[in-house]
Amino acid sequence: MSGERLELCSWGDTVGQTRPVPLLSDRGIGTTRQLVIIALFGIRLDVDHASVLVLGYSEASMLLKRPDSAKVRAIIAIHGLREYPVAVHDVTHSLILQFDDTEAPSSSDPIHAARIRFRQRRAADDGLVVVPPSVEHARRIIDFALAIREIDGMLLCQCQGGVSRSPAAALLCLATWTSPGRERDCVAQLFDTRPSAVPHRDLVRFGDELLHRNGDLLQALDHVRPP
């Protein structure tokens, strides 16, 4: 995204009005190209895909009760076995996923995988079933992102705290909508809209593999949020 600038439109702006903000990258700032963020605090990397918003359960519930919630046209709601997703009755496109904010066993590290499975067994002995994210969860997020890319409105990504799982889902959507080589831009835009995010590394890793980014998406994340 060399030489591009973002133009933001948030709750404090009149819809349709924008204000330029420099988009920093390791390639510098040059000419200007129109990139629009539509209302609320959503983000866009280009004009041909949906804007993205990341919230926790309480924030998302309050937003969807507002009159301007009609801007939310799609939602990815992630919840664990002991959590609840937000109500999505009035949202046109929805993806509901159930998994917990816990580590997934590593296929390349048998010791790590054994440690995780031991923790899962201990939790099960205490009556707590913990479900980690999987490649299939990442695949469903990517497929959903492809299906809603051109919706006229906003994608809301929601999990219990809006810190780990939903930011990871949002990052996979942004990467799905952009070409290889722009992973740092995707990460930068995620943190613009959710500075407190600590995206779930395993979910990002699965998405990186499915999108054939050869570790670039995970590396871009580690540049901002070291493991």
Question: Could you tell me if residue 2 is inside a domain?
Answer: no
Residues of the chain with pLDDT under 70: 1-48, 107-109, 112-114, 116, 118-120, 123-127
The pLDDT tens digits of the residues spanning 104-117 come to: 777 666 776 667 67
Q: Is residue 87 part of a domain?
A: yes
In a domain, 209, yes or no: yes
Report the CATH number at residue 199. 3.90.190.10
In a domain, 116, yes or no: no
Q: Is 90 within the bounds of a domain?
A: yes
Q: What is the pLDDT of residue 123?
A: 66
Per-residue pLDDT of 10-53, as tens digits, reads 333 333 333 333 333 333 222 223 333 333 444 444 446 788 99
Check residue 18 and give its pLDDT: 34
pLDDT at 22: 34
Given this model, what pLDDT does residue 79 score? 96
Tell me, yes or no, whether 4 lies in a domain.
no
Domain of residue 76 covers 48-99+134-224
What SS3 string covers the chain?
CCCCEEEECCCCCCCCCCEEEECCCCCCCCCCCCCECCCCCCECCCCCCCEEEEECHHHHHHHHCCHHHHHEEEEEEEECCCCCCCCCCCCCEEEEEECCCCCCCCCCCHHHHHHHHHHHHHHHHCCCCCCCCCHHHHHHHHHHHHHHCCCCCEEEEECCCCCCHHHHHHHHHHHHHCCCCCHHHHHHHHHHHCCCCCCCHHHHHHHHHHCCCCCHHHHHHHHHCCC
> Is residue 109 included in any domain, yes or no?
no
